[in-house]
Structure 1
Amino acid sequence: MARSSRSISNGLMHDTPFPMQASGPQEYRPTLARLAIRVAVKIRAAIIDDADRLARISSDTYRSTYKGMYSKDSWLDFATPEYFLPRWQEDLAPVTSEGPVFVAELDAQMVGFIAAKPAGERGDAYEDLAADAFVELKELYVLAANQFSKDRVGTHLLYEVVKGLATDTIVVGHAARKNAKIRKYMSSLSAEQIESGAIVLFKHVTDGIPWEVKVGRVSFYWKAPVLRQALAAKLPDSK
């Protein structure tokens, strides 16, 4: 899932929490049958010290996700860890962060991340609702070797974001329209998909000239309980 037009990431923010259910977040209680998976997959909040590793994962996942998706992908040459590092440093700093970032670890190695933003980019649907009715999934990236694996890294990351959202919250995410893999995955989670507008995948400045990569957008929408239930079905012991 791609970042929205603000160049690309966001960080951990405790001052603007998500709206929570009246009963509080649901507790994750793994059974012995799933203990091995829970031991292997660790989800935690990102910290500023994670910026370097997140920059490397951003570079790796951008290249694996978008290589060959469009006829021109030379822009990926600029999607280096050095490009992403200052953005993560800014986005993980409490003063400049916009929302929570969670990372997934397997055997102490970071393999993916998710970033969210309360009242983020809402897309072109549900225009009658106030901005604070939405929580945007700004990014969801998992290393290619760990995508759609039995460890369900992406599913664990998504559940971490939505498990405590209020029942009237609308969850929204955006991706490149040609990203067939993410569209198939979101369909399995009962997402409402709307093709509308454009998404900026990348921004850069070369020789003083700014440029960007803008492509057709697909937006995914859920009511928080619907997404929570769909994720719980993939992670039975997260109920």
Structure 2
Amino acid sequence: MKAIITAMITCAVIFGLSAGATQFLLKKTPADLEATDSSAATEPRGELAADQAIDPQGEAVPVSFRPDNNVSVEAVLQMSDSIKRMEQELAEREERVKRDEMRVKLIFDDLATEQDELRAFSEGIDTKLDMLSRMTEELKSTISDVEQKKAELEKLTKKADTKKVNTVSNADTQADEVKGWFEGLQPEQAAEYIREFSNNGKMGFAASLLQKMPDRQKSKILGAMNDPILVDQLIEALTNK
């Protein structure tokens, strides 16, 4: 700060000297200039003028003089205050620039963080898409297996239905063959045979045989069995036929 003030004062002094010299030269009249020129012409060359001095090297230099208007202390103080204000404004500007740089840095950091989050989110989506694709393939494979098993089940169902039809047909054929003999039995004897057929796994044959009997004889046979559970099974078999 002192160096700046010293430089400013030096500049002011030089400016004052220059201004004083200019005014001094402007105030001279043409007659004075002519007199000065004539006196300079009449003086011997070996002598120095009154307004010249000799430096240590023997060369003539102009004699310094003080300006007519001196620089006031108030002007120097004003210049010092102006310099202080400029320095303060410069410091404030630098502080604002630093704050702006810090704000920009924070913005870039936030952008970098958001980019990282978006990248991680994108990678998570890609992982989920891959998982979904694998699950879709597994589901397609499962559906294919289910369709295959469904087709096999339909085949088995058709075979079972065919076998059932054949069994019923065979039972009806056998019942027709023994119908005449069975009609001649007493209700108790017929009930005993029906019970035996049912217990031996020939429920269909027993039901077919009962179905071919007249309703009155059928009722007597069922009444003579004395087995409510078996009677219910036979009635259910007769209903389904």
Q: TM-score, normalised by structure 1?
A: 0.23
Judging by fraction of residues, say which structure has more strand. Answer: 1
Instruction: Compare relative contact order (CA 8 Å, sep 6+) and give the higher one, 1 or 2.
Output: 1
Output the TM-score relative to the length of structure 2.
0.22
Name the structure with the higher helix share.
2
